[in-house]
Amino acid sequence: MGALRNTLPEKPERKLPATEKLDKYGRNPNSLAERLRNRTDYATGEGWAPFPHAVWADLPRLSSGAICYAFIGVCNMLSLGRPRKAGQPWQEWTEPISKSDLAELCYCDEKGIQRQIAELTERGMIEVKTVRAGVAKYSIRLLYSKWQSLDDYSVWKRRQVVAIDDAVEDEAAEDEAAPAVSSEAVQVFKAPAIVKRGRASKVKKLPTSVNAFVYQNDSGIDAACTAVIQSGCLIVCTRPVNGDSEAKGEIKANATGHGCPEAFASSSPSPAPREPRAEEICKLFDPLLQKSASRLLSPDSAALSLACKELGSVPHDFLVHFVMGPGGRGGRPISGPRAVAAILRECRANYDKLPKSPARVSDADYRADELARARAVLANPKDESAIDLEWARDILRGHK
């Protein structure tokens, strides 16, 4: 019985004090949300807040979800809905209000409110003043006049997946010495996490706040490290700096120095040669997989080999247009490395449908047609999507 899980008893519901009586709908009439009903008179029109029509030209594309809609609506009510005398301008700023009160009005938790305040301020949708008198309170102004020039939420969100170290690489820069880990340090893993090649560990919730990052290499070889922050999760990717094959050779040399060459040689087969177009495919699909929050293709040798076989002899320009061109496959999420082979199979099938030789379209003709389409896209940038514009610039970048 000692091995059975001991479940904690369910947390009892909070009992309302004697002064807090629920109405016939089961709600507390003294709550912030219910008290708003007392300020509204449908017959006389009292208790109304104006909502500019132009807001609905931008809010659907700028919103991040239901909490964002609620937050904007509540801030609009608390600012433009404030009492004013006849002839006076509308109040643009809300009265100071705490996160907990905003969370109650928006029917969400305080973390959701804090995320909205941080994101909307960074995007330029709101302006915030912080008042600290015991509990921090915020006075908020909605910057409606600036919304037209802001990027869509999806475009802004993609730009947040950036490298932690975005400085130019400096070969002369030296790594720092490994920091000493004290006995009071918080352990994320109870034991070292073993992760198979091409896979990722399970997500671990951090029990403490983190505002810095250090990668410590405890292996016997030099390692390269990249890291991105996506949806609040820090994703760290590491690999041998000289490639898998040379890393295996170095490990083999280390094992030979310890007097066990025969045992290591019998258990470690020689690495398979890398496919000729592997680097081309990884360079094209790894950024798309990373944007889709999927595993990368480059560490998965089996999926990469299958992808190279499916690509065959499809020209590079045709491949790039199929993936990154207007309406291309790169505009949709990719589930994982195994899906790349299916995409390349479809790409090759489309290429094989082109007229056969001698009437088959030449690479030069296809290139000229592709340049013409790219110029047409950039000629009317307002009518094109961000993906199409990025494809057109990439096509024309190397063409004089």
**Residue 192 φ then ψ, to 5°:** -55, 135
What's the whole-number average pLDDT of the chain? Answer: 74
Q: What is the pLDDT of residue 231?
A: 58
**Are residues 233 and 203 in contact, defined by beta-carbon separation less than 8 angstroms?**
yes
Higher pLDDT among residues 215 and 18, named by residue: 215
Q: What is the pLDDT of residue 336?
A: 86
Segment 280-322, tens digit of pLDDT: 889 888 888 888 888 888 888 888 888 888 888 888 888 888 8
HSE-CB at 210 with a 13 A cutoff on CA atoms is: 14
Segment 120-159, tens digit of pLDDT: 999 999 999 888 767 788 899 999 999 999 989 988 888 7
3-class DSSP state for residue 373? helix
Most confident of the ranges 172-176, 258-262, 373-377, 382-386: 373-377
Q: Report the b/e string of 288-311 with b at 16+ CB within 10 A.
A: bbbeeebbbbbbbbebbebbbebb
Is the pLDDT at 71 greater than 90? The verdict is yes
Q: What is the pLDDT of residue 356?
A: 55
Q: What is the pLDDT of residue 366?
A: 61
HSE-CB at 260 with a 13 A cutoff on CA atoms is: 10
What's the CA gap between 231 and 227, in Å, rounded? 13
What's the CA gap between 82 and 47, in Å, rounded? 9
Q: What is the pLDDT of residue 90?
A: 82
Q: What is the pLDDT of residue 207?
A: 63
Comparing 84-98, 142-156, 168-182, 341-355, the range with the smallest average pLDDT is 168-182
HSE-CB at 134 with a 13 A cutoff on CA atoms is: 3
Query: Can you name the residues that pair with 236 across neighbouring β-strands?
Result: 227
Is the pLDDT at 11 greater than 60? The verdict is no
Strands 223-230 and 126-133: unpaired
How many percent of the chain have pLDDT more than 70? Answer: 64
What mean pLDDT do residues 266-271 have? 44
Q: What is the pLDDT of residue 140?
A: 92
* pLDDT class of 70 with cuts at 50, 70, 90: very high
Higher pLDDT among residues 167 and 276, named by residue: 276
What's the CA gap between 128 and 114, in Å, rounded? 12
Higher pLDDT among residues 11 and 332, named by residue: 332
Segment 40-69, tens digit of pLDDT: 666 666 777 888 888 889 999 999 889 999
Q: What is the pLDDT of residue 243?
A: 57
Higher pLDDT among residues 36 and 230, named by residue: 36
**Amino acid type, 372:** A
**Are residues 51 and 77 in contact, defined by beta-carbon separation less than 8 angstroms?**
no
Q: What is the pLDDT of residue 362?
A: 53
Higher pLDDT among residues 93 and 10, named by residue: 93
Structural domains in the chain, sorted by start:
32-159 (1.10.10.10), 272-397 (no CATH)
Environment class of residue 396 by beta-carbon count within 10 Å: exposed (0-12), middle (13-18) or buried (19+)?
middle
Is the pLDDT at 72 greater than 80? The verdict is yes
What mean pLDDT do residues 257-279 have? 53
Peptide bond connecting 358 to the previous residue in cis, omega within 30 degrees of 0: yes
Q: What is the pLDDT of residue 173?
A: 46
What mean pLDDT do residues 166-186 have? 55
Strands 97-98 and 223-230: unpaired
**Are residues 363 and 314 in contact, defined by beta-carbon separation less than 8 angstroms?**
no
Q: What is the pLDDT of residue 263?
A: 41
Comparing 197-201, 247-251, 259-263, the range with the smallest average pLDDT is 259-263
Is the pLDDT at 355 greater than 80? The verdict is no
Higher pLDDT among residues 212 and 75, named by residue: 75
Q: What is the pLDDT of residue 126?
A: 92
Q: What is the pLDDT of residue 398?
A: 60
The answer for residues whose C-beta is within 8 angstroms of residue 214's C-beta and 6 or more apart is 179
**Residue 21 φ then ψ, to 5°:** -110, 135
What's the CA gap between 306 and 299, in Å, rounded? 13
Q: What is the maximum alpha-carbon separation in the chain?
A: 94
